[in-house]
Copies of this chain bind each other. A is one copy, B any other.
Amino acid sequence: MSQLFSIEIVISNKPQARDPEGETISRDLIHKEGFQSVKEVRTGKMLVAKVEASSEVEAKNKVLLMCNDLRLYNPVAHSLNIKVSA
């Protein structure tokens, strides 16, 4: 019996790579406006997919397969994080 699972996909630059978008938000917006307690900002793209599957594990596997097949991210530059939405 298949159910609908809500799967969160987060695509972000790898931690060892720079994140120009986050650096700009941090430097030119946040620090200029005096929010000095914010030390770093990293950005990412979030997709939430509703996936039909018989289990959480199957749903996550389908999404992983899809992200790789459709090149939704670039494995060289991005890290991919897939989890079941709370």
Residues of chain A touching chain B, judged by Cβ–Cβ distance below 8 Å, are: 2, 4, 10, 12, 22, 25, 29-30, 33, 35, 37-53, 62-63, 66, 69-70, 72
Contacts and interface: CB of A to CB of B under 8 A. Distances in A.
| Chain A contact residues: helix, strand, loop or mixed | strand
A66 B35 CA distance: 7
Contacts of A29: 70, 72
A41 B48 contact: yes
A51 to B, nearest CB: 5
Given A30-B66, A66-B30, A48 B42 contact: yes
A47 B30 CA distance: 13
Contacts of A30: 66, 70
Contacts of A52: 37-39
